[in-house]
Chain A
């Protein structure tokens, strides 16, 4: 498949530089625009014919933020990568803004961009492409009814991404993620159906399905002598249902899985609503010896209050403060402070979004407990885990030495 790339940068040198790099990397389907208005007109005419937009932020006429807003307006389903000479905080804010528009943001890169960075960003688009696209090249939309059928017909499937100890390399656990194994469209990623589930009252059924599968899988691993904590993301709706702790305890008992094998991951920003019921449910889960993890830490607005009020035993620092921390003093400061607080509270710490050796090394140096991210392993079916563990054993000495 030829990837169709639309490049927008008002600076001639930068435009030529990235064009040259893309050509060297073998990407031939590149359209370059120095005028963002022309690029927008091109996209509006046929948005589905572009796989990814590489977008400068600082441009006269329409700046990158306005451009992103227009991409959201036309429901652009391809990937977006931001390229900018702005400082990291502005770049990260733009990244979050584009993500909040539900665009598929593949990266935020500082200019000048290296060929290696482009390759990583475009590689992510390639790996997501089979799931994102149908044969017609457009993002397929599913109905709530079809998703409901899929949940009932067990078309959803769990995949697992390992978490490993930075000190010893030992595999300590996995995070459960969900995919839809669609009979016609192949593997569909969660960004294409989670919002649909949330908006149509299906998220509770979806989460419970994923949770039951994960609990059953945890039992299989326990029986095989593997001591793995299995993390499962819980939704806002779960945290509004006062019966949820009993459901979890009953599911564990029915499967014969140890309670300590389960860790429920709660996204920090989701705790904002209905604080009392969240606190009730989370405290009861802890009383039942079920692990609680605060996910994407640092991205919400009340991080410290939640750490104080809720008995979490694991803190996952958001990828935004992990990837690239070695070169960015602001990220490093937030990472160090988050880890220090978690340690004071006796929590296990996890660095999310470990994408390269530099991320791994900086987390190790900062004294983080666990690492999770593509550098360690991509999410995989349960059956692929033993083989990956063998490969990891071979790779580990080079990462924990010194």
Chain B
């Protein structure tokens, strides 16, 4: 069932972002201030249409994908396995962008690029940003489609 907040633009996204986060295409400071900047359902609608049931289904699928790939990404970063970091961030990047989590997708794009360059320092910097955005994205998804 689609949560009512999916139709409104005033949902809460959770805690304020850290002030020293790296800059990405969308200013991360906006992410906490506006829930839609964390996961903008209007973006998803452009890909799948305005059917509430389908939107709920895709947001649920996105949440599953985030949870799965977050674990993979952590494993990759800890093991300094740049191939794993690159592949995981690559896959989740497109999914995040389709689901309307644009800033999250942009951070994943930066992670993918850093991993392709074997730049562990930049990987670490963007992984911290990923970890900062992760709870915001999940909180927003839970507000839109309550977890089972």
Q: A residues engaging B (CB < 8 A)?
A: 10-14, 16-17, 20-21, 24, 58, 60, 85-86, 111-115
Looking at the complex, which one of A10, A24, A86, A112 makes contact with B98 (CB distance below 8 Å)? A112
B48 in contact with A21 (CB, 8 Å): yes
In chain B, positions 35-56 with a C-beta closer than 8 Å to chain A are 46-49, 54
Q: How far is the CA of A112 from the CA of B58 in the complex (A)?
A: 13
Not counting A17-B58, A21-B48, A114-B47, a sample of 19 additional A-B residue pairs whose C-beta atoms are within 8 angstroms of each other reads A12-B64, A12-B65, A13-B62, A13-B95, A13-B98, A14-B94, A14-B95, A16-B61, A17-B98, A20-B54, A20-B58, A24-B48, A24-B49, A85-B91, A85-B94, A111-B94, A111-B98, A112-B97, A115-B49
Q: How far is the CA of A157 from the CA of B50 in the complex (A)?
A: 47
> A10 to chain B: which residues have CB within 8 Å?
91
> B99 to chain A: which residues have CB within 8 Å?
13
> B93 to chain A: which residues have CB within 8 Å?
85
Q: Does B90 contact A (CB under 8 A)?
A: yes
Q: How far is the CA of A223 from the CA of B89 in the complex (A)?
A: 63
Question: A65 to chain B: closest CB distance in Å?
Answer: 15
B46 in contact with A114 (CB, 8 Å): yes
Q: How far is the CA of A13 from the CA of B46 in the complex (A)?
A: 16
Identify the 9 closest CB pairs spanning chains A and B, nearest first: A112-B98, A85-B94, A111-B94, A13-B95, A13-B65, A11-B91, A13-B61, A20-B48, A112-B94
Looking at the complex, which one of A11, A16, A60 makes contact with B94 (CB distance below 8 Å)? A11
Interface string of B90-121 (1 = CB under 8 A from A): 11011101110000000000000000000000
Q: How far is the CA of A24 from the CA of B48 in the complex (A)?
A: 8
A58 in contact with B91 (CB, 8 Å): yes
- Could you write out 28 A-B pairs with CB less than 8 Å apart? A10-B91, A11-B94, A11-B95, A12-B61, A12-B64, A13-B61, A13-B98, A14-B91, A14-B95, A14-B98, A17-B58, A17-B98, A20-B48, A20-B54, A21-B47, A24-B49, A58-B87, A58-B91, A60-B87, A85-B91, A85-B93, A85-B94, A112-B47, A112-B94, A112-B95, A112-B98, A113-B47, A114-B46
Q: How far is the CA of A113 from the CA of B90 in the complex (A)?
A: 15
> B95 to chain A: which residues have CB within 8 Å?
11, 13-14, 112
Q: How far is the CA of A20 from the CA of B58 in the complex (A)?
A: 10
Closest residue on chain B to residue A85 by CB atoms = B94
Question: B82 to chain A: closest CB distance in Å?
Answer: 15
Pick from B46, B90, B94, B97 the residue with the most CB of A within 10 Å.
Answer: B94
B90 in contact with A85 (CB, 8 Å): yes
B90 in contact with A17 (CB, 8 Å): no
Known: A58-B90, A58-B91. A13 touches B58 (CB 8 A): yes
Interface string of B61-101 (1 = CB under 8 A from A): 11011000000000000000000000100110111011100
Q: How far is the CA of A10 from the CA of B95 in the complex (A)?
A: 12
Question: B60 to chain A: closest CB distance in Å?
Answer: 10
Q: How far is the CA of A24 from the CA of B87 in the complex (A)?
A: 30
> B64 to chain A: which residues have CB within 8 Å?
12
Looking at the complex, which one of B47, B62, B94 makes contact with A115 (CB distance below 8 Å)? B47
> B47 to chain A: which residues have CB within 8 Å?
17, 21, 112-115
Q: How far is the CA of A12 from the CA of B64 in the complex (A)?
A: 10
Known: A21-B47, A114-B46, A114-B47. A16 touches B91 (CB 8 A): no
Q: How far is the CA of A11 from the CA of B58 in the complex (A)?
A: 13
> B90 to chain A: which residues have CB within 8 Å?
58, 85-86
Q: How far is the CA of A17 from the CA of B100 in the complex (A)?
A: 13
Question: A26 to chain B: closest CB distance in Å?
Answer: 13
Q: How far is the CA of A337 from the CA of B93 in the complex (A)?
A: 32
> A17 to chain B: which residues have CB within 8 Å?
47-48, 58, 98
Pick from B65, B87, B95, B99 the residue with the most CB of A within 10 Å.
Answer: B95
Question: A328 to chain B: closest CB distance in Å?
Answer: 15
Question: B129 to chain A: closest CB distance in Å?
Answer: 19
A16 in contact with B58 (CB, 8 Å): yes
> A112 to chain B: which residues have CB within 8 Å?
47, 94-95, 97-98
Q: How far is the CA of A12 from the CA of B57 in the complex (A)?
A: 12
Q: How far is the CA of A20 from the CA of B45 in the complex (A)?
A: 12
Q: How far is the CA of A114 from the CA of B45 in the complex (A)?
A: 10
Question: A56 to chain B: closest CB distance in Å?
Answer: 9
Closest residue on chain B to residue A11 by CB atoms = B91
